[in-house]
Chains A and B, each alone.
Chain A
């Protein structure tokens, strides 16, 4: 069953802790993305990767880090430096940055 898998669906963490969100795709896509969505708002780009071992900052990268060691995986770490980490996080992938992107079902992170 091909697609993009984000896990877990819901995640709770205490303030001050780093947390890593998982994103795996088996579509053989080169490009992968992380977005953040706050209630009633559109999606904002955190980081994207055009190819393995390469990634670029998006519009709101502060307080986040990523790695792209494997083509199929693009984990996002929300660090303690992120001031407002509670949000809905969405991962996406595409053949290239110039083709349509396909999204996972998201991880809802709550920091208390």
Chain B
């Protein structure tokens, strides 16, 4: 069963921020939120992950709500190369925890 809910698609203009939402209302206290993206016909690429604090790296920012039931991935200045399927994944830290991919959200960046 999917632990996350994402809208199927969204678009944004090149150069603007892309804010990708994810709902994970049943997340447990020891589960992390991971984001990956997959450009067409390539392997998924790790973007960022977090537990409860907001996180930022060279690719994106991850904002997790205080109740941890939802999060937003922010691409600050989207480019055409950011067009991809973005997967929001909830994953625990135990030995048997695994990355489970849903259908993700297709982000289309328009010129």
| Interface size of A as a range | 20 to 34
- Shortest beta-carbon distance, B30 to chain A, in Å? 11
Could you tell me if B87 and A42 are in contact, using CB atoms closer than 8 angstroms? yes
Question: Which positions 73-105 of chain A face chain B at CB distance < 8 Å?
Answer: 88, 90, 92, 97-98, 100-105
B54 at the A/B interface (Cβ < 8 Å)? no
Chief secondary structure at chain B's binding surface? loop
Could you tell me if B95 and A97 are in contact, using CB atoms closer than 8 angstroms? yes
- Shortest beta-carbon distance, A27 to chain B, in Å? 13
Chief secondary structure at chain A's binding surface? strand
Contacts across chains A and B counted by CB atoms under 8 Å: 48
Query: Which of B12-20, B38-46, B67-75 is the interface stretch?
Result: B38-46
Could you tell me if B97 and A42 are in contact, using CB atoms closer than 8 angstroms? no
CA gap between A108 and B43 in the complex, in Å: 11
| Interface size of B as a range | 20 to 34
CA gap between A106 and B91 in the complex, in Å: 23
Our pick among B34, B43, B98, B99 for the contact of A104 (Cβ within 8 Å) is B43
B102 at the A/B interface (Cβ < 8 Å)? yes
Bitwise, B32-76 to A at CB < 8 A (1) or not (0) is 001000000111111001000000000000000000000000000
- Shortest beta-carbon distance, B33 to chain A, in Å? 12
Could you tell me if B98 and A42 are in contact, using CB atoms closer than 8 angstroms? no
Q: Given A100-B34, A100-B49, list of 18 further CB < 8 A pairs?
A: A33-B99, A41-B103, A42-B87, A43-B101, A44-B101, A88-B41, A90-B43, A90-B44, A92-B43, A97-B95, A97-B98, A98-B93, A103-B44, A103-B45, A105-B43, A106-B41, A106-B43, A108-B41
What are 9 A-B pairs with beta-carbon distances under 8 A? A40-B103, A42-B87, A42-B104, A43-B99, A45-B98, A88-B41, A98-B95, A103-B45, A106-B43
